[in-house]
Structures are given as C-alpha cells and as structure tokens.
Amino acid sequence: MSILFVMSCSEEQHPLMIDDDKALSLLLDINIANIAKNKYPTTLKDSITADLKMQICEMHDINEVELDTMLWLLQKDFVRYNRLYKQLIDTLKRLENELGSGNDKPLVPYGEMIDSINANKKTL
C-alpha cells in the first residue's frame, strides 16, 4: 500500500519529477557511485552498494522506496530520460576534462555509451 502512495505522490509532486536539474543531479550521483563501487573487490560490492544508495538518498532527501520509484518513473518517460541521459554524458565528460586523468584511458568511458555498471570491467 505504501508503494502506491509513494508513486502517486511522487509522480505528481516530487521535485525530481518536475525539475530536470534535480533529476540530472540524482542520475549523476548514481553513476558516480556505480563507478566508485566497481573499484571495490566483489566481496564488498553488496555492502558498498547499500552504503552508497543510503548516502544518495540522504543527499537528495528521499528514502530508498522513493529512489527506486523515481528511477522507475524517469525511465518510464523515455523522451525525458533520454534527454537527461544525454545531459548526464555531457556532464560526466566535462567533469573528466576538468579533473583530468593521469593516463590516456578515459575515467568515464561514456564516449562509447557503455553503461555505468560495466564501465570498469576489464576485458580479457
């Protein structure tokens, strides 16, 4: 029952659903967290993922159910999600250029449109 309540309230009133800057900020934090967690050993990824998700929720003043609902609703609106994702890629590229990298490999391989979950996996 609470999920339906959150969804109905969230879809209509939550700032993440009406403010592209806030939604982009959330997506940016999620992608940075995914890249960060991939640097940890597999045995720690579950606990790291939970910690990062909790921190993202705190930063955006939402709970985990709201986070999952917001992501689902964002993905449901394909036109908006696609627009936000393109902005996300541009933002990540700009951050990488501003921070620089000590090698020739990109820190964020979004130029190839690799999703953040597979961003740091090594190919054999």
What pTM did the predictor assign?
Answer: 0.68
Per-residue pLDDT reduced to its tens digit, 28-60: 999 999 988 988 888 888 899 999 999 999 999
Query: For 114, phi and psi rounded to 5 degrees?
Result: -80, 135
Residue-averaged pLDDT of the chain: 78
- Which two three-digit tokens encode residue 22? 């806030």
- Look up residue 18 and give its amino acid: I
pLDDT grade for 124, boundaries at 50, 70 and 90: very low
- What share of the chain in percent tops pLDDT 90? 45
Q: Where are the domains of the chain?
A: 2-118
DSSP result, 54-118: HHHHHHTT--HHHHHHHHHHHHHSHHHHHHHHHHHHHHHHHHHHHH--SSSS-SS-GGGT--GGG
Q: At what angle do helices 64-76 and 78-99 cross, to 10 degrees?
A: 110
Res. 5: pLDDT tops 60: no
